[in-house]
Structure 1
Amino acid sequence: MKTRVCRLYGQRELRVEEMDVAAPGPGEVLVAIGAGGICGSDLHYFQDGGFGPIRVREPIILGHEIAGTVQAVGEGVDRVFPGDRVAVNPSRPCNDCRFCREGLRQHCLNMRFFGSALRFPHEQGGFRDLLVAQDFQCERIGPRTSLAEAAVAEPFAVCLHARSRAGDLSGKSVLVTGAGPAAAHAGAAEIVVTDLQDAALAIASRMGATTTVNVAANPDLLDRYKAEKGQFDLAFECSAAAPAVHTAIECVRPQGTIVQLGVAGDLPVPVNMLVGKEINLIGSHRFDAEFGEAVRLIDSGAIDVKPIITASYPLEDALAAFEIAGDRSRAVKVQLTFAETAA
């Protein structure tokens, strides 16, 4: 069988080309991909050739926010069946290393993650018409959920994992820098979202933010949150921009918590303020069981992710899609569509 793929050969050098795809083997599933979201890491690979120490060293098929329809299953698969519509978890932990045995599968020493340049050879991704995955990577969705919505399960799972790292949000005041995870579903009393773009902030309002602040146009609006050693109980820092990290440390109250989701290279951190206010700085990396939770919340209608899907492009227009995805004044989440329909 042949499948079209979206492969990156160098900075801003994307090609849509064909390659062979094998039939699914034991424990494997052949999925016709219908929708795939362009993630920040995809953009870093496309725009900069990588991020931090992770660099693209060979052609790589991008994409890990994907959903589609099962076309065929291999021997021994009874978890999903042909015709099932599924969100595909891009994580493939080994389930055998010490971290997997400790229940920290997101830190698997042998992790395979679709569309990642961390390892060499690179782990090829999901921007393709046909993909072979392990059966345990597939989470079924119902008929009312579109493949476009199901493809948002991966970034939503990242948010759910960050929420679990933060602890109980009930009744707390929360700052989100970089228009990242909404905390309304977890019962936060106040959610202030900052960003540089009004388009992203408008989406944040629809997703549950109580206040939004464009820090490029109105940075002074944050001054009241910096008063008296800070006002927020908790901050989710999603941008990995040095000014945003500094703002989070300024705005969080003593013994408050900052959960860092955004990734970049080395950043300057005001350690004196961090120590002086006894702030808890917590990293949050990917997800594990939260992927299944994300699918269930989207599929049940408990979380409406449709507002963040701002544009969809067919695979043959991948270059245009990446250019739009890189312009945050016009787009929040841009998706590619494939041979399967995303309707």
Structure 2
Amino acid sequence: MSLACTLNGPLNLSVEHLSPQEPGPGEVRLRLGAGGICGSDLHYYQHGRAGIFAIRAPFVPGHEASGVVDAVGDGVTKVHVGQKVAVNPAHPCGLCPACRAGRSNLCEKMVFLGSAAIFPHIPGFFREHFVMHEAQLTAIDEDVSLGEIACAEPLSVGLHAVRRAGEVLGATVLVTGAGTIGCMSVIAARLAGAGRVIACDPSERAREMALTVGADEALPDATAWKGRVDVALEAAGHPAALASCLAAVRRGGRVVQVGTLPPEIPFPANDIMSRELDYVGAFRADIEFDWAVQAIRSRRADVRPLISAQLPISQSKAAFDLALDRGRSTKVQLVPG
């Protein structure tokens, strides 16, 4: 039997025993390496929903994972038993207008593991064994840990946010929120050649983490940068953070919303108009997942400082509660056991 963390509704989490699946042709069964608890997982845990996606039936969350190949089906050539792999949770159709336009993250028929976006929900990675098509796997031979490899998905979100920001070479970039996605956005801005990166977060621990991964400054708020930054990335998912971004960007600057905000918030539409600000969204990632894997395996992106703890699936509730405590954790991961 295989342990799995199941969300049944708000603050209702259980650990179940499941029978491992057998891989079919072109499929691979993985043993979980590490599975990161994301902000959306915490939204599901606390509120039963993440943005517009609501839990309608019990399901296994988790969309950040690495694994070790446990068994392979007929015809599999990309990986072999015992090999470490990065796992892409996104399975776009490849045929819809968004996919054909090179924006597969917006696929009309997206199957995204560990998300309540569609019903029946697609189980995620918080289970000891799961089966994937080999196309969603990247073999890792380098000496990087399974915990690091599991950070490819959140790093891809940061990379996508920076790509949505446009040209950032030499630019001054503000990141509001220095949790996992904020810190990944700091790393991504650095990789893209930003001239100066400022992180804002009320948490002293979060600010220290942002400095560790490459921010030039880490401040409790962005007041000192009003009207001075070229690009602002909102990664906190809080209306006050969005307001800080809009105030901080210069005339003609760009704000990228990465975080999940409440359904209805006050919005300074006239300010955006009169200052000709660009306001864009950044949702998940596309080709950036592959970029993230390459950056981690080469250690051009060092995500090790962000991994605060790894707990066994049998202690899933303790892991989720720790992940909610920003004073003690950045990235908490589940591992087998």
Q: CA deviation at 1:107?
A: 1.1
Match of 1:125 in 2: 124
- TM-score normalized with structure 1 length: 0.93
Contact 1:174–1:235 at 8 Å: present in 2 too? Answer: yes
Q: CA deviation at 1:246?
A: 0.9
Moved over 6 A (4+): none
Contact 1:115–1:124 at 8 Å: present in 2 too? Answer: yes
Match of 2:196 in 1: 190
Q: CA deviation at 1:143?
A: 3.8
Give the distance between the partners of 1:192 and 1:338, measured in 2 at CA: 37
Give the distance between the partners of 2:110 and 2:83, measured in 1 at CA: 26
User: Which residues of 2 match residues 53-92 of structure 1 at below 5 A?
Assistant: 53-92=52-91
| 2:299 equivalent to 1:301 | yes
Give the distance between the partners of 1:317 and 1:74, measured in 2 at CA: 31
| 2:239 equivalent to 1:233 | no
SS at match of 2:124: coil
Question: Deviation digits for residues 231-264 of structure 1, max 9, x if unmatched?
Answer: 0000111112111111111110000111110113
Contact 2:30–2:129 at 8 Å: present in 1 too? Answer: yes
Give the distance between the partners of 2:173 and 2:99, measured in 1 at CA: 31
Give the distance between the partners of 1:203 and 1:190, measured in 2 at CA: 17
Match of 1:311 in 2: 309
Match of 2:257 in 1: 260
Question: What is the count of residue pairs matched by the alignment?
Answer: 329
Match of 2:243 in 1: 246
| 2:206 equivalent to 1:206 | no
Give the distance between the partners of 1:268 and 1:56, measured in 2 at CA: 27
SS at match of 2:160: helix
| 2:43 equivalent to 1:44 | yes
Match of 1:98 in 2: 97
Question: Deviation digits for residues 263-294 of structure 1, max 9, x if unmatched?
Answer: 13222211121111100011111111111110
SS at match of 2:69: strand
Contact 2:172–2:195 at 8 Å: present in 1 too? Answer: yes
Give the distance between the partners of 2:313 and 2:223, measured in 1 at CA: 45
Give the distance between the partners of 2:306 and 2:12, measured in 1 at CA: 26
Q: CA deviation at 1:164?
A: 1.2
SS at match of 2:214: coil
Identity %: 43
Aligned residues: CA RMSD: 1.1
User: Which residues of 2 match residues 162-177 of structure 1 at below 5 A?
Assistant: 162-177=161-176
Q: Which runs of 5+ in 2 are unaligned?
A: none
Contact 1:245–1:269 at 8 Å: present in 2 too? Answer: no
Amino acid at match of 1:151: A
| 2:29 equivalent to 1:30 | yes
Cα distance 1:52–1:303, how it changes in 2: closer, same or farther (>3 A)?
closer
Q: CA deviation at 1:53?
A: 2.7
Give the distance between the partners of 1:73 and 1:109, measured in 2 at CA: 30
Give the distance between the partners of 2:2 and 2:307, measured in 1 at CA: 25
Select between 93-102 and 194-203 the one with higher mean Cα deviation: 93-102
Select between 71-80 and 131-140 the one with higher mean Cα deviation: 71-80
Q: CA deviation at 1:101?
A: 2.0
Amino acid at match of 2:285: F
Amino acid at match of 2:176: T
Question: Deviation digits for residues 91-146 of structure 1, max 9, x if unmatched?
Answer: 01111222222222111111111111111111111101101011111111124100
Match of 1:150 in 2: 149
Match of 1:7 in 2: 6
Give the distance between the partners of 1:275 and 1:213, measured in 2 at CA: 28
